[in-house]
């Protein structure tokens, strides 16, 4: 069974710090990796995707992928209180539905 | 641009009553469509997905069913709701790997 694991948190960081969110996955055939942000009571919103090993940067967000270790992470630089949300890691092996982790709750303290 | 509409936003239903949730997508053709459920404190559970009209794959055996009567319409139904059916129901669409979610329906079965 394909599994995606995340630390549930909460992860608390001070405003302006770097938040580091981690995710591991079980299916070695996984090809595409996604990070979603979900505010309380709202639906998930896609914020980053990564397909190749290494880093991908988009503004304050950096996704990192290591397929050999089956590990993907999301770094949020200069964290803001508005970044406080649950972050969901999602994985797919191709033309199959996304498998989601349970999410990590991030709290940015002003 | 593509948009997804899901309704209603909230719903309170008695045990044993029927259910019908509808989702429509605009601005794209032949999308993959999904129904996920998110129970309190738990991750996103894939319920059904569809790659075309009349093509439905069920991921979890339960008293729910799904139908896709038109290319961009996806319906989630139940003949008799159980207390355990309470949760946050999310419709999503994709053309490539990433999925985009509707606003969700918060269902409370009482």
Interface test with B, best of A41, A97, A99, A102 (most B CBs within 10 A): A97
Q: N- to C-terminal Cα distance for chain B?
A: 38
Q: Rounded to an integer, what distance in angstroms lies between the CA atom of residue B93 and that of residue B51?
A: 10
Q: Please list every residue in chain B whose beta carbon sits closer than 8 Å to the beta carbon of residue A94.
A: 97
Q: Do B97 and A92 touch (CB under 8 A)?
A: yes
Chain A: residues touching B (Cβ < 8 Å): 31-32, 34, 41-46, 49, 88, 90, 92, 94-95, 97-103
Q: For A55-70, how does the pLDDT look when each residue is reduced to its tens digit (9 = 90+)?
A: 999 999 999 999 999 9
- The string over B38-51, giving b where at least 16 C-beta atoms fall within 10 Å of a residue's C-beta and e elsewhere, is beeeebbebbbbbe
- Please tell me the total number of residues recorded for chain B in this structure: 110
Identify the CA nearest to A37 among candidates A61, A15, A57.
Answer: A61
Q: Do B46 and A99 touch (CB under 8 A)?
A: yes
Query: What are the structure tokens assigned to B97, written together?
Result: 């790997």
Q: Rounded to an integer, what distance in angstroms lies between the CA atom of residue B29 and that of residue B42?
A: 32
Beta bridge partner(s), residue A50: A33
Question: Along chain A (110 residues), what's the average pLDDT of each consecutive run of 10 residues?
Answer: 88 97 94 96 95 96 97 98 97 88 95
Q: Do B44 and A32 touch (CB under 8 A)?
A: no
Q: Do A43 and B103 touch (CB under 8 A)?
A: yes
Examine the pLDDT at B9 and tell me if it is beyond 70. Answer: yes
Sheet bearing A19-25, strands edge to edge:
A4-5, A19-25, A71-76, A61-66, A54-58
Interface test with A, best of B6, B41, B97 (most A CBs within 10 A): B97
pLDDT at B41: 73
Q: Do B43 and A97 touch (CB under 8 A)?
A: no
Neighbours of A2 (CB within 10 A): 14
Considering only residues B76 and B98, tell me which one the structure prediction assigns the higher pLDDT.
B76
Q: N- to C-terminal Cα distance for chain A?
A: 40
Closest Cβ–Cβ partner in B99, B103, B104 for A98: B99
Cβ pair A32, A89 in contact under 8 A: no
pLDDT at A25: 96
């Amino acid at each position: 069974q394909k599994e995606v694991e995340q630390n549930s948190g909460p992860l608390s960081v001070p405003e302006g710090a770097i938040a580091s969110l981690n995710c591991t996955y079980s299916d070695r055939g996984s090809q595409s990796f996604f990070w979603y942000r979900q505010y309380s009571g709202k639906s998930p919103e896609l914020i980053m995707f990564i397909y190749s090993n290494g880093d991908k940067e988009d503004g304050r967000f950096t996704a990192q992928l290591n397929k050999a270790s089956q590990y993907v992470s999301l770094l949020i630089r200069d964290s803001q209180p508005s970044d406080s949300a649950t972050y969901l890691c999602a994985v797919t092996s191709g033309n199959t539905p996304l498998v989601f982790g349970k999410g990590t709750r991030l709290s940015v303290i002003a | 641009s593509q948009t997804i509409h899901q309704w209603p936003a909230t719903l309170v239903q008695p045990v044993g009553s029927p259910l019908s949730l509808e989702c429509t997508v605009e601005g794209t053709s032949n999308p993959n469509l999904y129904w996920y459920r998110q129970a309190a404190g738990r991750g996103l559970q894939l319920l059904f997905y569809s790659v075309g009209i009349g093509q439905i794959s069920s991921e979890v055996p339960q008293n729910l069913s799904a139908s896709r009567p038109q290319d961009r319409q996806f319906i989630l139904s139940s003949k008799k709701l159980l207390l355990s059916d309470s949760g946050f129901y999310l419709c999503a669409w994709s053309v490539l790997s990433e999925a985009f979610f509707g606003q969700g329906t918060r269902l409370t079965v009482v």
